[in-house]
Amino acid sequence: MDQRSIADVTVLSPTGRIDLDTTPPLQDCLLPLTQVASAKVVVDFAGVSYISSSGLRALMLGAKAARAAQGRLVVCCLNPAVAEIFRISRFHLVVEVQNDLAAALAALSSSAAAAYRHG
């Protein structure tokens, strides 16, 4: 699981399928991050081809944890298939969805957005 920090935001970048088999490593990364007080976390879906309810469950747990810790969880770069699953599951009500990483960072932190712009 690729994980990096951009200013005060942590970006997770899972790849491939997110299903019953591959959700545990994502969840093991995501939950501790979202449990930190006031944490700002982005899950970048640019490399994700597919998500099942197992992955949605991990995002739900992350969103609940972030809310409890006064943090925020944002996702970005959903491909059309993943976006359709979010729509059917009404997951835009659960996590904030942004079109791309720049928008996700800008939604969370001006310093992270600036750091990303300047490479």
Partner 1 sequence: MTGKPIHMPRLRLVGQAAEIGPAVDTVRRFALAAGLPPESCDALALAVDEAVSNILRHAYDAPVDSAVTIDAAADGEGIEVVLADRGRPFSPLDRSPPRLEGGAADRPVGGLGIHLMRTLVDRIDYRREGDVNRLTLSKYRTAALAAGAPRGEDGADDTGA
Decide: is 111 part of the binding site for partner 1 (CB under 8 A): no
Q: How far is the CB of 117 from partner 1 (least distance, A)?
A: 30
Going by DSSP bridges, is the β-strand pair 40-44/9-13 parallel, antiparallel, or unpaired? parallel
Decide: is 28 part of the binding site for partner 1 (CB under 8 A): no
Nearer to partner 1, 36 or 61 (CB): 61
Number of residues that bind partner 1 (CB under 8 A): 26
Alpha-carbon distance 51 to 66, whole Å? Answer: 21
| Structure tokens given for 111 | 């310093």
Going by DSSP bridges, is the β-strand pair 72-76/48-51 parallel, antiparallel, or unpaired? unpaired
What residues between 58 and 77 interact with partner 1 by CB under 8 A?
A: 60-61, 63-64, 66-67
Q: How far is the CB of 30 from partner 1 (least distance, A)?
A: 13
Decide: is 114 part of the binding site for partner 1 (CB under 8 A): no
Q: List, as one string, the DSSP characters of 49-117.
A: EEE-HHHHHHHHHHHHHHHHTT-EEEEE---HHHHHHHHHHTGGGTSEEESSHHHHHHHH-HHHHHHHH
Of residues 114, 113, 108, the one with CA closest to residue 41: 108
Nearer to partner 1, 71 or 116 (CB): 71
Contacting residues toward partner 1, per CB under 8 A: 17, 19-22, 50, 52-54, 56-57, 60-61, 63-64, 66-67, 81, 84-85, 88-90, 93-95
